[in-house]
Amino acid sequence: MIGDTLAPALASARWRALTLTSIAAVVVALVWRFGWTAPLAAYLYFGMVVTVAVVIDARTLRMPNLLLLPSYPIGLALLGAAAAADGRWWPLGRAAIAMVAVAGFYLAIALVAGGQRLGLADVSLGGLLGLVLGWVSWSALSTGVILGWVLALVAVVVWRPGCRPGRTPAIPAGPCLWLGALVAVLASR
């Protein structure tokens, strides 16, 4: 079943290269950002899983919940271990609050849109992005969420010329939302 989920990211040499290059770039960026600190393991895990998920979303317009849902307990455990190692528990609490808030916000958008442009798997992604951003800071959370939606809006405008009049183009939201979150995490200190 995992093989079926990963198949779109590995479907051709081009998609394999895109997936592996994206993972490598994210890993290098996260090691640069966090160095050899306690939260690095959690961020490397999230970086690899979410990068594969958004490549699949870019290829299929479907976010793979099979990759995202197990990341909640794994990510919370890794961040919990980081909090224990640092002896600082507030970042974990803030991350949990942010996870619930962003997932709730994305769920509200999905319900208002009737699942047309944002599905429940995107809501799952939103919760993970809230967790990742919330650990860093409240400002990283707000910046990452807003930047992700701005990037999605830009993508809609860029793809609109090829769309029939009166229709909004179908774009994968996942890559835009992940890129916004990643930029916010990398820019925060």
Buried b (16+ CB within 10 A) or exposed e, 49-66: bbbbbbbbbbbeebbbbe
Of the candidates 32, 20, 22, 25, the residue with the CA atom closest to the CA atom of residue 186: 32
Largest CA distance in the chain: 56
Distance CA(27)–CA(21), nearest Å, equals 10
Residue 68 has a pLDDT of 95
Residue 163 has a pLDDT of 52
Residue 41 has a pLDDT of 97
**Two tokens at 21?**
């290059």
Residues 148, 177 contacting (CB under 8 angstroms): yes
Residue 46 has a pLDDT of 97
- 146 sits in which H/E element: helix 138-159
Residue 137 has a pLDDT of 97
pTM of the model: 0.89
Q: Which residues of the chain carry a pLDDT beneath 50?
A: none
